[in-house]
Amino acid sequence: MNRIELPANESALFQGIVRHRRFQPVGHQFRYSLFMWLLRLDELPSLFERYWQLGASPWHWARFRREDYLDRPERRLQDVVIDKLASKLEVDREEVVGEVWLLGQLRYLGCYFSPLNLYFVKRDGIFRHVLAEVSNTPWNERHCYALDLRSLHPHGKEFHVSPFNPMGQEYDWRILPPEGNRLAVHLQVKRQAADHAGAPIMDAGLHLRRVALEQRSLNRMLMRKPSQTAALLAAIYWQALRLYIKRSPFYPHPGRSGDLGNQRS
């Protein structure tokens, strides 16, 4: 029997570092290595056929579970992304429709947590919009920010992420989309000010390079980090303990959840 050749996939792995720096009220910084998936969502069925580790069933090592992303799990994820972009940017849906690519984490060995998922929307060969899905822990809440890559501006913080960061802050994003072999995200956090001139409190960055999604590279990534989501959670709590020891001010949860509610378990 002749082997059926599957078409080449555009999805990829991205490998690199995540870095955080706090400037005030106490200094603190860290960096970790990690890898992330860049998945063209329309390719998921063919990717599931190509790679035995990847799929939608509980027994898959790297599992794509629709309920882990955004809301309305009965609908296609790419359709929900477009709807949320249009709603948050207050534009007609046709202005933001395009190919949807997910930069984020999967569920490894049954464990899932992703502090940041970025849904890039590509139209006419160019990445034009991003829906940023932010998650917190231990509350397991999620919230979305809609970004126009052609016109990035500072905006107010709308969602409680860390007990060491209060509300009343603003975010300033800089994003290099995955059009080549590099991908970068820089987020500067400032005190909220009318003229956007507040002093930087902290910044965070992702610096990643493309790795072709092949059986060999996937094996290597998973063997090095068999449950990266568990490692991410451990790192978050370890850094929180370090901030507590440094007596960084503590801000309790304000009692408002994100616009997506609680993460499904």
Task: Specify the pLDDT at position 194.
Answer: 63
* Total Cβ atoms within 10 A of residue 76: 14
Q: Is-cis flag, bond preceding 25, omega within 30?
A: yes
Q: What contacts 51, CB < 8 A, 6 or more positions away? A: 213, 215, 218
Q: What contacts 101, CB < 8 A, 6 or more positions away? A: 11, 38, 39, 40, 41, 119, 120, 121, 122, 127, 178
> Does an H or E element contain 140, and which?
none
- The answer to whether 196 touches 121, Cβ cutoff 8 Å, is no
Q: Report residue 8's pLDDT band, with 50, 70 and 90 as the boundaries.
A: low
Exposure string of 183-216, with b = 16+ CB inside 10 Å and e = fewer, is: bebebbbbebeeeeebeebbbbbbbbebbebeee
- The answer to whether 201 touches 24, Cβ cutoff 8 Å, is yes
Q: To the nearest whole percent, how much of the chain has pLDDT over 90?
A: 87
Task: Specify the pLDDT at position 91.
Answer: 96
State the residue for tokens 């999805």: 11
Q: What contacts 6, CB < 8 A, 6 or more positions away? A: 46, 49, 50
The average pLDDT across 133-147 equals 96
Domain ranges (residues) in the chain:
12-252
**Backbone dihedral angles phi then psi of residue 129, each to the nearest 5 degrees:** -135, 160
Q: Which two tokens stand for residue 19?
A: 């870095």
Task: Specify the pLDDT at position 265.
Answer: 44
State the residue for tokens 């997506």: 260
Task: Specify the pLDDT at position 198.
Answer: 72
Q: Regarding predicted confidence, which is higher, 92 or 6? A: 92
Q: Report residue 12's pLDDT band, with 50, 70 and 90 as the boundaries.
A: very high
- The answer to whether 210 touches 176, Cβ cutoff 8 Å, is no
Q: In what order do the strands lie in the sheet with 54-55?
A: 54-55, 62-63, 107-108
**Alpha carbon separation from 255 to 116, 160, 258, 263 (Å, rounded):** 21, 9, 10, 16
Q: Report residue 9's pLDDT band, with 50, 70 and 90 as the boundaries.
A: confident
91-123 confidence digits (pLDDT tens): 999 999 999 999 999 999 999 999 999 999 999
Task: Specify the pLDDT at position 199.
Answer: 81
50-101 confidence digits (pLDDT tens): 999 999 999 999 999 999 999 999 999 999 999 999 999 999 999 999 999 9
Secondary structure letter of residue 4 according to DSSP: P
| Average pLDDT over all residues of the chain | 92
Task: Specify the pLDDT at position 255.
Answer: 86
199-241 confidence digits (pLDDT tens): 899 999 999 999 999 999 999 999 999 888 999 999 999 999 9
